[in-house]
Structure 1
Amino acid sequence: MRLKHSLLTSLLAFVGSINGWIIIDGIKNVLESVGSVGTNVKVLFSPNLYTAYSYNLENMHDIVHNGGFDRKLPTVIYIHGYLGDGEFDESVMAVRNAYREENNQNFIAVDWSAFSHFTVGVPYFNNIRKLRQICEEIAVQLDKIRNQGCSCYKNFYLVGHSLGGQCAGLVGRHLKKISNNHFVISKIYALDPAGPDFETKSIIHLHKSFDCISRNDADYVQIIHTNGNRYGLSESLGHADFYPNGGMSQPGCKSDVCSHTFAWIFYQQSIRLEGGFLARQCDSYDNFQMGNCDLNEISFMGFSSNGTRPTGTYFLRTHPSKFGPALREEGLKRTISYLILEDGSKQTNTGIYGFRAPVSNVTNLNEGNSPNEIPLDRYNEMLHRQHIDQNRLQDENSSE
């Protein structure tokens, strides 16, 4: 009878309308009663490319006792975003494989798909409510590792995409609170952390469940912005904020979802090609493009194993293909000058590559004096085949 009364009370709760959405505030109580985060959220530990161990979130602290866990190595915890999946999500697999190929980190993925796909009430905003409980439980589990006497806790750090990026900030924030500042996360990489309901400039603030990520959440916070003012944040909130291609839309992308995903694409490539994403400190993308910041300091975007921790706001350009985005020093040059393609040729008409706005075509310079336009997806396929051919040639040459 008590349960029936509780459900009835929830369903009769205040109904409001914001931006055309009908918000039933009482559904919050129903949603929060469905499933425990401790048992429904999974944590996957991957000691190598071919093995993974699954733990309930409430048992995450036991991972350090796994025979495959190397207490001498740093440990990265990766948190996927809204509608993601901690086991088969493309971003998780890409980042996991990048780390595992290097084989110098313990890799843990938080799989909160049991709630990231939950759609009772208003999707996304209700997911954020549940995410708060998940983030706080992750912090509790990390503090248990510290209290177990494993000094390995000092080498734990967080990487999160979209809502996972916001979660990483809350984990660090809550961990400082419950440990009385005895456990501060060493570093956080937030990959286009979610903007809706977090960014101060956003017009949507329906159910503020927890505060936005900030530089106070860890010893070092780096944010990579790829879809600002849309799915991601535009504000500079970390110790270092990187804005590839201006940080709002990415070359070749026809949708915000595409640009949003490029944050983790860039990050996993920074693991494979450490130091590949050179960026220049500047106050705006316009000044960066005009060369007004050409004398400013430069640094690397993304993963760093050598302790490098740049600070400030940085801009860079990337190659117009997700198969080879790092341009190294060419990423620092003004887009109004020229772009170096992967075959070494120079392209002066960089506008067709979408650095100011996404476009659907690029020029194939290998088809003679009168370039033909080809769809971008075909261009990406060409680059992918080119990479495969180059790798095969390198293998053949090394075997000789």
Structure 2
Amino acid sequence: MYAVCAIFLVIQVVLATALPSDPVLSSWGEGLRYDYMETDDGDLQLVDNWMKLSDYERLARYNPDNSNRYHLFTRANPSISQPLVLNNAGTVTNSNFRANRRTIILMHGFAGSITSGFNTVLVPAFLAAADVNVIALDWSAGSSWGPRAIQAGQAAGRFLNWLIRISGTTPNNFHVVGYSVGGHGAGIIARTVNGNVGYVTGCDPADRWEAGWNFRPNDGLYTEVIHTNVGNIGMTQPLAQADFYPNGGRNMPGCATALCDHYRSYYYLGESLRTGGFTGRRCANLQQALNGNCNASGTLRMGGIQPKNGNSGIFHLTTNPLPPFSRG
């Protein structure tokens, strides 16, 4: 009897030492298991590209319906936000939100927050361009793990469905804008909304991303992507109805790092809101856009406050190294 117990004890010890306590179940990135990603604020963060059991457990506990925060900015409160709280209609009726205005939804990127450069550039740019509601989504509770952008975006879409019900606004009034992993998240927000969102913009959607959850051309009535760091942080292939490749989508003039290139996507959008410019030349295919030798017939303005419904294609343009970035 004692010998049998001893054998079972030895087996348990061997299994405990042989099997990992946190087994790897899948991978959400290609290449090396560990590498560094730069956050929205420019800090380096070590990222594990392999998804372990503990990652799935944390994902199961993550509840973006509770942790997402929605900050409203308008021309009446351009600097200090008003919180809009899901299922609390009073936070909407007592705020500066107006249902008859166009509403901009902003979704920051990996490891970002409400204070990310994406928001600090685009909130004032949208308010300068038009009398709109700007709602900045803060999903910082989950943003340190990129795939959570899927759940955060779906929750934001449910929030907008609630906002539509209580305010009387319409999906056509929405312009959803996202950056990096939030660029894909913007598409997820839009496709979760009941109805057709009027305008969806992806600012250099991230290359390292969950298959099947990419930004899609039919995420809104008009969809547009600005590619500024292809083949590195940003995704190379066209994703929208209209895809713009400034400077061939890489090596932005005035930039010395990939992160600077990545940032330029929302800086270009911000400038387009304030002053227009950024006229893209139509390209016959992606390779022409990457090489900058486009000569197909037609042009289209990149960015801007109004959707360009009915337009589609791949476009190239050249920018200046310093503001103003647009060459017209």
The equivalent residue for 1:280 is 281
The equivalent residue for 2:122 is 95
After superposition, the C-alpha distances for 1:249-287 in whole angstroms (9 at most, x for unaligned) are 21122111110110000000000012x111110135875
> Does the 8 A contact of 2:255 with 2:321 survive in 1?
no
> Does the 8 A contact of 1:241 with 1:313 survive in 2?
yes
SS at match of 1:231: coil
Aligned partner (choices 131, 145, 153) of residue 104 of structure 1: 131
Q: Structure 1 281/152 Cα, relative in aligned 2: closer, same or farther at 3 Å?
A: same
> Does the 8 A contact of 2:171 with 2:196 survive in 1?
no
Q: Structure 1 60/224 Cα, relative in aligned 2: closer, same or farther at 3 Å?
A: farther
The equivalent residue for 1:194 is 206
Aligned partner (choices 234, 237, 240) of residue 235 of structure 1: 237
For 1:287 and 1:306, how far apart are their aligned partners in 2?
25
Q: Structure 1 150/196 Cα, relative in aligned 2: closer, same or farther at 3 Å?
A: same
For 1:14 and 1:294, how far apart are their aligned partners in 2?
49
For 1:132 and 1:11, how far apart are their aligned partners in 2?
27
Aligned partner (choices 13, 19, 22) of residue 23 of structure 2: 13
Aligned partner (choices 267, 270, 273) of residue 271 of structure 1: 273
After superposition, the C-alpha distances for 1:358-388 in whole angstroms (9 at most, x for unaligned) are xxxxxxxxxxxxxxxxxxxxxxxxxxxxxxx
The equivalent residue for 1:78 is 106
The equivalent residue for 1:220 is 222
The equivalent residue for 1:324 is 324
The equivalent residue for 1:356 is none
The equivalent residue for 1:54 is 83
| Higher deviation after alignment, 93-102 or 23-32 | 23-32
> Does the 8 A contact of 1:10 with 1:26 survive in 2?
no
For 1:317 and 1:260, how far apart are their aligned partners in 2?
16
After superposition, the C-alpha distances for 1:20-53 in whole angstroms (9 at most, x for unaligned) are 4273520123312555322322110012323311
> Does the 8 A contact of 1:61 with 1:142 survive in 2?
no
Q: Structure 1 253/34 Cα, relative in aligned 2: closer, same or farther at 3 Å?
A: same
Instruction: Normalising by structure 2, report the TM-score.
Output: 0.79
> Does the 8 A contact of 1:98 with 1:268 survive in 2?
yes
> Does the 8 A contact of 2:183 with 2:206 survive in 1?
yes
For 2:80 and 2:26, how far apart are their aligned partners in 1?
48
SS at match of 1:78: strand
How many angstroms does 1:54 deviate by?
Answer: 2.2
Q: Structure 1 16/70 Cα, relative in aligned 2: closer, same or farther at 3 Å?
A: closer
> Does the 8 A contact of 2:248 with 2:290 survive in 1?
no
The equivalent residue for 2:168 is 150
For structure 1, the 5+ residue unaligned runs are 1-8, 118-125, 199-207, 329-400
SS at match of 2:141: helix
> Does the 8 A contact of 2:245 with 2:290 survive in 1?
no
Q: Structure 1 103/187 Cα, relative in aligned 2: closer, same or farther at 3 Å?
A: closer
SS at match of 1:148: helix
After superposition, the C-alpha distances for 1:236-261 in whole angstroms (9 at most, x for unaligned) are 12110000000122112211111011
Of structures 1 and 2, the one scoring higher in RCO (CA 8 A, sep 6+) is 2
For 2:101, the aligned partner's letter is: L
For 2:24 and 2:253, how far apart are their aligned partners in 1?
44
Q: Structure 1 158/193 Cα, relative in aligned 2: closer, same or farther at 3 Å?
A: same
How many angstroms does 1:305 deviate by?
Answer: 2.7
The number of aligned residues is: 291
The equivalent residue for 1:369 is none
The equivalent residue for 1:40 is 67
| Map 1:108-187 → 2, pairs under 5 A | 108-117=135-144, 126-128=145-147, 130-148=148-166, 150-175=168-193, 179=194, 183-187=195-199
| Map 1:331-370 → 2, pairs under 5 A | none
Q: Structure 1 103/314 Cα, relative in aligned 2: closer, same or farther at 3 Å?
A: closer
How many angstroms does 1:308 deviate by?
Answer: 5.5
For 2:25 and 2:315, how far apart are their aligned partners in 1?
44
Aligned CA RMSD, in angstroms, stands at: 2.8
After superposition, the C-alpha distances for 1:153-177 in whole angstroms (9 at most, x for unaligned) are 43012011111110011122233xx
Identity %: 24
Structure in which a larger fraction of residues adopt strand: 2
Q: Structure 1 142/42 Cα, relative in aligned 2: closer, same or farther at 3 Å?
A: same
Q: Structure 1 292/38 Cα, relative in aligned 2: closer, same or farther at 3 Å?
A: closer
Structure 1 runs of 4+ with >6 Å offset: 15-18, 288-292
